Structure 1
Amino acid sequence: MKKAALHNLGCKVNSYETEAMQQLLENAGYEIVPFAEGADVYIINTCSVTNIADRKSRQMLHRAKKMNPEAVVVAAGCYVQAAGEELKKDEAVDLVVGNNKKTDLVSILEDYFAQRKKPEEDTAYSQNDAPDETLETIIDIGDTREYENLSIDRISDHTRAFIKVQDGCNQFCSYCIIPYTRGRVRSRRPDEVVEEVKRLTISGYQEIVLTGIHLSSYGMDFPEEERLTLLDLIKSIHEVEGLKRIRLGSLEPRIVTEEFASELAGLHKICPHFHLSLQSGSDNTLKRMNRHYTTEDYLNRCQILRKAFKNPAITTDVIVGFPGESDEDFQVTKEYLKNVQFYEMHVFKYSKRNGTKAAVMPDQVPESIKAERSNDLLCLEKEMSLEYRKSWLGSRTEVLMEEEYWWNDIHYMIGHTREYVKAAVPFEEGLKGVVIEGILMEMMNDEVAFLKY
């Protein structure tokens, strides 16, 4: 029995695909082992969202080869799409598996091992030779309209399952390489999604999180007579018996209409936790980013959600130091963020990505200024996040218990409310995966509230 180790880099979609590849290997008889010395096969599901992500991907590939020079090192995913030819020449990499080919991982490995067994028949063959040329491992991702059929029936987290329902993006933001590494919008058939949700629910998962590269585009690629929307998919999932929570991944702000919010509010399993990607609070910067909304439009969408739901959690992404971002643009952004009042913000320093329009834009911002602006917004994020958590004190809510937690040498169980606020109760055996209803009494620290039940 061969031993396989997997390592994931990047987004929740990548995490899902790594879980799916692991289950493909397990079903094929591989023993899954930790990402450490001793594996026969190392699979690194790479990321290419920034140049830094590229570097981390290369580092992990080389680390795997050092752990076992005789092992087969497999580079999979987005970095393969961006730099496949380069990786084929890398002595640390034995196999490259691009996006939409991960489902073929087992057959690609079998073909590779079959060729390695025939050195006496072909003395010129070496470990770094490619597998059979008839087995395509990287495709032109921009040409395909086929959704890759990956699925899972379990994950390592026993309370929450991420489910990929969509791939690709048609937006072409000026800073983003993803449309080139993930291709155009491709959606998973709704019946397949519902069946996976049913399997996961039967396995004991209380909550599912819908994810995709551009989740809001779900269904737009289906034929006109079969056209569906994300809302249609959510309604179908909502009917799954035994499922308690549906959480949504990152949404495009423009999907939030009065109708969309009103329909969601009528579905009791929906978690009022919405991640609306912003990137900048300056209209000048948004225009250069090729984002398709204004700050006024974005704020209106937040107000729609707050009208439909009681105190919903609204989170976002912000990029600082985008080319051409002046001090004035940054201050406008900071004031705008204060005005919107987010629960959480993921703050990123702009990272030049070769192959994108932003990489060659004039007025690139010095790293020192990016760092200052990032620190400034991270401080603001802490303030707003604590304020939102405190806004729930004294309220009755429900918490899905997830893991053990120690604070001041006291043992607790910790989980999240539907709004994704962390809450803790005194530890008891058997609480993991249980939904507990109670009142949030006080903040134990800046991140965790105490739940009395």
Structure 2
Amino acid sequence: MKKKVALHNLGCKVNAYEVEAMQQLLEQAGYEIVPFEPGADVYVINTCTVTNIADRKSRQMLHKAKKMNPDAVVVATGCYVQTDEGKLEKDEAVDLVLGNNQKKNIVEVLSEYEEEHQRQSHIIKINQTREYEELEISRTAEHVRAYIKVQDGCNQFCTYCIIPYARGRVRSREKENILKEVHKLAEAGYKEVVLTGIHLSSYGVDFPEDKKETLLSLIQAVNEVEGIKRIRLGSLEPGIVTEEFAKELAAMPKVCPHFHLSLQSGCDATLERMNRRYRSAEYKERCELLRKYFGNPALTTDVIVGFPMESEEDFQASYDFVKDIHFYETHIFKYSRRHGTKAAAMDGQLTEAVKAVRSDKMLELHQIRATEYENSLLGQKAEVLLEEKVEIEGADYYLGHSREYVKVAVPVQEKYQVNDMLTVKVERFLQPHILLGEDAE
């Protein structure tokens, strides 16, 4: 009888990729994949530690798994595992603790655990490696879009961030292995790929001179893969957006005009305390370069509010900068104090109440700017990749995303199906942040 395993992901797209890769390894080994519900023999939770809330959710999911089946093997892996300082070893809800660099060994570790018949924590973790830990997928939970992990680790050590300690230094995946995976996904029918990593802009910096690759050279190679129609990029650092980079990207028709450019603050004093490697004027120049070559791209970003010593004037400078750039989407995070980071020991820690007020103000601006950008697409033609069939206000639609990653609904017709790519005319808003497209061909 097949062992049943349920997997649950917390956190970023890199974590999601790793869960899918572990799932496929388990399936190949004969395990049956089941929903994260009571009845599984094994529960695998890929944890996150980017904020205190992420830590709490990770612990909650581990305890939930053990409650659903006290006799099941509960496996904790991911970034929270790397930074918990041994607390999980004493947690009776956890049977196996698997480090970030051991996910590829999930099948062997479970087999070893079962053979030993132990009911005590089995620890395989923390040994950070200088080589990329090879995982791959041949399909993904998303039926039309595949996220591909091309890089792990980070060398930046921003003062607020625990991730370099959880993920280790930069390790890039061999280009040949990435292309092999992209070809498999294209053959399986995927039309869109998203290149992602912990610090994507660092791709290739760890390669020796005789094997030198950059993120740009990787994108150019993926652009040549037949069957792939769209390429998206994960979060980028502003410094990578040079004139050459923007110009070369724009020369590749598969590259979508949708860029997430990490900001964190529009205040230079705060950026310095964060140990970010740019200042607001440089960031603005990089946005202008993308607009120079892509016209009206969707620019999105992250902003932290309530960083230590952020005065009202500092926050206002950040707010005014974000307002001036006109982002499509701004993801707002209230500063989360992470033990072990430099920012956690800084003077001038702000109250949660102050952070909440500033967050709300930024969120209001986000809603205004998101609607403004969506309005700019009205009356225009848009290429939409159909992703799912939905019902909206009693009518049936196919819902998908434009090249700008704006949601577009298209009325159902028999000739359409999921994974079709249509050119539509954007007529109006169907709902907030969902545009209505009519067939333009």
Q: Could you say whether these structures have the same fold, taking a TM-score greater than 0.5 normalized by the shorter chain as the test?
A: yes
Q: Which residue of 2 aligns with 1:139?
A: 126
Whole-Å separation in 2 of the counterparts to 1:129 and 1:75: 10
| SS of residue in 1 equivalent to 2:146 | strand
Letter in 1 for 2:21: A
In 2, are the aligned partners of 1:51 and 1:354 still within 8 Å (CA)? Answer: no
Alignment of 1:47-446 (within 5 A): 47-83=48-84, 85-116=86-117, 126-130=118-122, 137-141=124-128, 144-429=129-414, 430-446=416-432
Deviation at 1:129, TM superposition (A): 4.7
Residue type of the alignment partner of 1:285: T
Report the CA distance between 1:161 and its aligned residue.
0.4
The answer to whether the 8 A contact 1:402-1:433 is kept is yes
Question: TM-score when scaled to structure 2?
Answer: 0.98
Q: Distance in 2 between matches of 1:362 and 1:412?
A: 53
TM-score (norm 1): 0.95
Residue 407 of structure 1 and its aligned partner are, at CA, apart by 2.1
SS in 2 for 1:172: coil
Q: What letter matches 1:13 in structure 2?
A: V
CA distance, structure 2, for counterparts of residue 152 and residue 228 of structure 1: 22
Distance 1:102 1:198 in 2: 23
- The letter for the 1-side match of 2:125 is I
Letter in 2 for 1:396: K
CA distance in 1, matches of 2:241, 2:41: 48
Deviations 1:392-443 (A, max 9, x none): 1111121001112322211111111101111111123542100000211111
RMSD: 1.0
Contact 2:94-2:121 within 8 A present in 1 as well: no
Measure how far apart 1:362 and its partner are. 0.6
Number of residues paired by the alignment?
437
Instruction: Indicate if the aligned counterparts of 1:145 and 1:184 stay in contact, CA closer than 8 A.
Output: yes
Structure 1 residues not aligned, in runs of 5+? 117-125, 131-135
Residues 220-276 of structure 1 show CA distances to partners (whole Å, capped at 9, x for unaligned) of 000111111000000110110111000000000000000000000000100010000
Q: How many percent of aligned residue pairs carry the same amino acid?
A: 60
Amino acid at match of 1:369: V
User: In 1, Cα distance between the equivalents of 2:23 and 2:121?
Assistant: 24
Gaps of 5+ in 2: none
CA distance in 1, matches of 2:390, 2:405: 16
Question: Residue 316 of structure 1 aligns to a residue in which SS?
Answer: strand
Partner SS for 1:234: helix
What's the CA shift for 1:164? 0.2
Distance 1:158 1:247 in 2: 16
| Cα separation, 2, equivalents of 1:145 and 1:219 | 13
Aligned partner of residue 251 in structure 1, secondary structure: coil
Q: Which amino acid aligns with 1:127?
A: R
Q: Hey, what's the Cα distance between the residues in 2 that align with 1:89 and 1:280?
A: 38
Q: Distance in 1 between matches of 2:317 and 2:13?
A: 31
Please give the per-residue CA displacement for 1:298-318, whole angstroms capped at 9, x wherever unaligned.
000000000000200100000
Measured after TM superposition, the shift of residue 369 of structure 1 is 0.8
Q: Structure 2 CA distance, aligned partners of 1:43 and 1:396?
A: 44
Determine helix, strand or coil for the equivalent of 2:101: coil
Q: Secondary structure of the equivalent of 2:124?
A: coil
| Distance in 1, Cα, partners of 2:337 & 2:85 | 20
Structure 2 residue identity aligned to 1:444? L
Amino acid at match of 2:54: A
Distance 1:442 1:129, change over 3 A: closer
- Secondary structure at 1:420's aligned position in 2? coil
Q: Give CA deviations for 1:336-367 in whole Å, capped at 9, x if unaligned.
A: 11110000010011111111011111111110
- Structure 2 distance, partners of 1:428, 1:86, is 55
Q: Map Cα deviations across residues 82-109 of structure 1 (whole Å, 9 max, x no partner).
A: 1252111111100000011000010000
Matching residue's letter, 1:38: G
1:450 to 433, 436, 439: 436
SS at match of 1:233: helix
Kindly provide the amino acid, as one letter, of the partner of residue 61 in structure 1. L
Distance across 2 between alignment mates of 1:65 and 1:129? 13
